[in-house]
C-alpha cells in the first residue's frame, strides 16, 4: 500500500504520466466533462471532497506552472477565488470566458470531479517541470 501522498490510484497515475504543458482539470460536480477525456470522479456527496481540498492535495504531487480559471469566478464566487489565490501562489493565472474554459477541457489529460457545489469552482492546471 502507498504510504504517502495521493492514495487515489487513477489520479496518482495521471499525474505521474504528465509532461511539461499537459493540462489537468479540477472541477466542481456540475462541470460538463467531455466523453473523450478521462474522468476521475472523487465526488462522494455535496461538498465532499471540496475543490480547495482537492487542489491542495494535487499540488503536493504536481509541479504547476500555470492555471486557467473562468473569468466569472472572481465575481460570482468571490470567497472561493480569494481562497484559491494563496494555494496557487506565484503561478500565472489566466482568466477566460466560462464557455471557452469548457472547450479547453477537451485538451486535458483528465478531469478530476470533486463534490464542490460552488459556481465556477474549476481550474485547469498546466504542468511544469521540476528542473
Catalytic residues: 20
Average pLDDT value for residue range 112-130: 97
CB 98 within 8 A of CB 26: no
pLDDT tens across 26-69, in order? 999 999 999 999 999 999 999 999 999 999 999 999 999 999 99
Q: Does the annotation list 120 as a binding residue? A: yes
Burial class (CB in 10 A: 0-12, 13-18, 19+), 82: exposed
122 is in an annotated binding site: yes
Name residue, grid cell 479540477: 26
Structural domains of the chain, ranges and CATH numbers in brackets = 22-127 (3.40.1650.10)
Is 57 annotated for ligand binding? no
Indicate the burial class of 68 (C-beta count within 10 angstroms; 0-12, 13-18, 19 or more): buried
Amino acid at each position: 500500500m502507498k504510504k504517502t501522498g495521493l492514495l487515489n490510484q487513477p489520479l496518482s497515475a495521471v499525474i505521474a504520466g504528465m509532461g511539461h504543458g499537459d493540462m489537468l482539470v479540477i472541477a466542481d460536480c456540475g462541470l460538463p466533462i467531455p466523453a473523450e477525456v478521462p474522468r476521475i470522479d472523487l465526488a462522494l456527496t455535496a461538498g465532499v471532497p471540496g475543490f480547495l481540498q482537492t487542489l491542495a492535495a494535487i499540488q503536493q504531487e504536481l509541479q504547476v506552472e500555470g492555471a486557467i480559471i473562468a473569468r466569472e469566478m472572481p465575481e460570482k464566487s468571490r470567497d472561493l477565488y480569494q481562497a484559491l489565490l494563496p494555494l496557487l501562489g506565484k503561478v500565472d493565472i489566466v482568466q477566460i470566458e466560462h464557455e471557452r474554459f469548457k472547450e479547453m477541457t477537451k485538451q486535458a489529460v483528465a478531469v478530476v470531479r470533486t463534490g464542490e457545489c460552488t459556481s465556477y469552482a474549476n481550474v485547469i492546471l498546466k504542468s511544469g517541470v521540476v528542473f
